[in-house]
Amino acid sequence: MSTTHNDVYVKSRKENAMSASRFFCVRRVVFALLCTAIVLVSVFAVPSNASAAGLDPFVETSTGSASSVAYGNGVFVVVGNKVIRTSSDGYNWQSISVSQNYMDVVFADGRFVAVGYEGYVAVSTDGMNWSHYQVTGSSYGGHKPSLDEVCYADGKYYTNGAFTYGTNCINIVYSSPDGVNWNKVLDEAVPNSSMLGYTIAHANGEFLLTGWMSFGYVSTDGVTWTRISTNVSSIREIIHANGTIWGTDGYNIYTWDTMSHQWTANTTESLMYTYDLAYINDQLFALGLNSAYAPRIELSEDGGITWTQYSMTPSPSVTLSRPCDAAYGNGVYVVAARGDIYTTKPVFSVTYDGNTATSGSVPTDANTYYSGDSATILDNTGALNKDGYTFAGWNTRENGSGSSFSAGSFTNISGDLLLYAQWRQNAVTTPVPDAVIPATGDGSNVPLLLSLSLFATIGVVVSCAWVIRRKRD
């Protein structure tokens, strides 16, 4: 059959169409594979439960009076209005009823020391068993002042109080080597009922007691106190933070210059009301309320230059939840907030163990997880190997008697998870030995050769007989 030009043209178009169709299909397949890869990366490479830098989320763990919190000897202690609460984990709290109202607590030198109304002091080493004491009265009327704060410096505890006496303000400071025996180191009348010293701290070899009306005291030895005037009208809280005294007047945050005895404002912090400060794990905390009067914490990790704000949601039954103190222990932060106690969620991890692997490396899960989060079990990405064995997944116990997990599976996190590589022994095959022909020259091969010769001879004879018979036929 002859082929016309038109036939060639039609055939060419069909081939081009088929080629284009194949190319289009290939493009669709490639596109689908790319989309699948992107989805897999987004799901597995960047889990949504990976935690952000900074502070972990807070949850309310208790309600009730909470003025101050400290951590030591494995327990948290929160003091308040006729109650002391303790917890080893920051979540489960035990309440101890007391007859006194305690305002502040510190842990130092192996013991908790709490101070409060009418000169009462409470001391405990475990947070559960407390001894209560009362300081001696002021020389002005024998009055036992309410003690506002307690700090520890130079091997002693120091606490301060103030009260009005006629038209005077009496400022008083006590010191103690053990929290039990207290001595008055300052007991002075100031002719102005508003010049009250509310807060005390120590840094760079100097004590600072300050309060209202641009007023304060300084001391280098904790015994002799000198009255000074400062450039801020009222300071309601000061703390010692990494060699610096930080203070707040309720609206702004300041740093103290021990040379000039003046305050310098920090303008980068943005809480509407700052009631207290804390310094934990090289981080500066500002505790207070935002412009909507909601409880907030601002955290600075660079010495007050930049701040990150964190929110806390109070219980609906709490009419005022005002953060006033913070402490850290057992992997969590605890905030006392007048009518609430807040605790950061515990952070958990997933780690892997090679479990007698002879080479390779374990996979690394860099994510942090909270209780209830879902974690993806990783594959043997580090090429773990054990001679004579095959990798067979992961288990919560070395011997495989726990919970088993395969790569790509999911599990809900309720605590730190350690997974051990499991190994399945390879099948052992017994090799069949090859036939061994004895070497020549030692006479041992004579029977074998004779047998072979005999079979060869018989074969020749049979063949010859068959040929002769054919010829006869």
pLDDT at 340 over 90: no
* pTM score, whole prediction: 0.69
- Quickly tell me which residue has 């004491």 as its tokens: 133
SS (H, E, C) the chain: CCCCHHHHHHHHHHHHHHHHHHHHHHHHHHHHHHHHHHHHHHHHHCCCCCCCCCCCCEEEEEEEEECEEEEECCEEEEEEEEEEEEECCCCCCEEEEEEEEEEEEEEECCEEEEEEHHHEEEEECCCCCCEEEECCCCCCCCCCCCEEEEEEECCEEEEEEEEEECCEEEEEEEEECCCCCCEEEEEEEECCCCCCEEEEEEECCEEEEEECCCEEEEECCCCCCEEEECCCCCCCEEEEECCEEEEECCCCEEEEECCCCEEEEECCCCCCEEEEEEEECCEEEEEEECCCCCEEEEEECCCCCCCEEEECCCCCCCCCEEEEEEEEECCEEEEEEEEEEEEECCCECEEEECCCCCECCCCCCCCCECCCCEEECCCCCCCCECCCEEEEEEECCCCCCCCEECCCCEEECCCCEEEEEEEEECCCCCCCCCCCCCCCCCCCCHHHHHHHHHHHHHHHHHHHHHHHHHHHC
Predicted confidence at residue 18, as pLDDT, reads 44
pLDDT at 327 over 90: yes
* pLDDT > 90 in the chain, percent: 51
pLDDT at 377 over 70: yes
Predicted confidence at residue 310, as pLDDT, reads 78
Tell me the mean pLDDT in the region 158-176: 94
Which comes out higher in pLDDT, residue 429 or 79? 79
Predicted confidence at residue 51, as pLDDT, reads 32
pLDDT in tens, 255-294: 999 899 999 988 676 667 888 899 998 888 888 887 777 7
pLDDT in tens, 184-200: 999 999 887 677 788 99
Of 157-166, 178-187, 201-210, 233-242, minimum mean pLDDT range: 233-242
Tell me the mean pLDDT in the region 158-171: 92
Length of the chain, in residues: 473
Rounded Cα distance, 114 and 179, in Å = 9
pLDDT in tens, 92-135: 999 999 999 999 999 999 999 999 999 999 999 999 999 999 99
CB-CB contact of 342 with 334 (8 Å) = yes
pLDDT at 378 over 90: yes
pLDDT at 86 over 60: yes
Tell me the mean pLDDT in the region 23-39: 40
Predicted confidence at residue 59, as pLDDT, reads 80
Which comes out higher in pLDDT, residue 293 or 73? 73
For residues 374-396, one letter each, b for 16 or more C-beta atoms within 10 angstroms of the residue's C-beta and e for the rest, the string is ebbbbebebebbbeebebebbbe
CB-CB contact of 414 with 375 (8 Å) = no
Rounded to the nearest integer, the mean pLDDT of the chain is 81
Tell me the mean pLDDT in the region 460-471: 54
pLDDT at 54 over 70: no
Which comes out higher in pLDDT, residue 446 or 132? 132
Bridge-based pairing state of the strands 226-229 and 350-353: unpaired
Tell me the mean pLDDT in the region 305-330: 74
pLDDT at 3 over 50: no
In terms of Cβ atoms closer than 10 Å to its own Cβ (0-12, 13-18, 19+), residue 298 is: buried
Tell me the mean pLDDT in the region 381-394: 96
Rounded Cα distance, 256 and 243, in Å = 10
pLDDT at 206 over 90: yes
The amino acid occupying position 344 is: T
CB-CB contact of 394 with 420 (8 Å) = yes
pLDDT at 325 over 70: yes
Which comes out higher in pLDDT, residue 321 or 133? 133
pLDDT at 167 over 50: yes
Among candidate residues 255, 259, 233, the one with its CA nearest the CA of residue 245: 255
pLDDT at 5 over 50: no
First to last CA, the chain: 60
- Quickly tell me which residue has 């116990």 as its tokens: 397
Distances in Å between the alpha carbon of 375 and those of 219, 293, 366, 411, 437?
A: 55, 37, 11, 5, 63
Distances in Å between the alpha carbon of 307 and those of 53, 239, 297, 303, 331?
A: 13, 18, 10, 9, 22
pLDDT in tens, 19-30: 444 444 444 443
pLDDT at 32 over 90: no
Tell me the mean pLDDT in the region 313-330: 72
Among candidate residues 166, 224, 208, the one with its CA nearest the CA of residue 191: 166
Of 13-22, 87-96, 292-301, 322-331, minimum mean pLDDT range: 13-22
Confidence of residue 150 (pLDDT cuts 50, 70, 90): very high
Predicted confidence at residue 47, as pLDDT, reads 32
Of 34-48, 71-85, 175-189, 361-375, minimum mean pLDDT range: 34-48
Rounded Cα distance, 318 and 75, in Å = 25
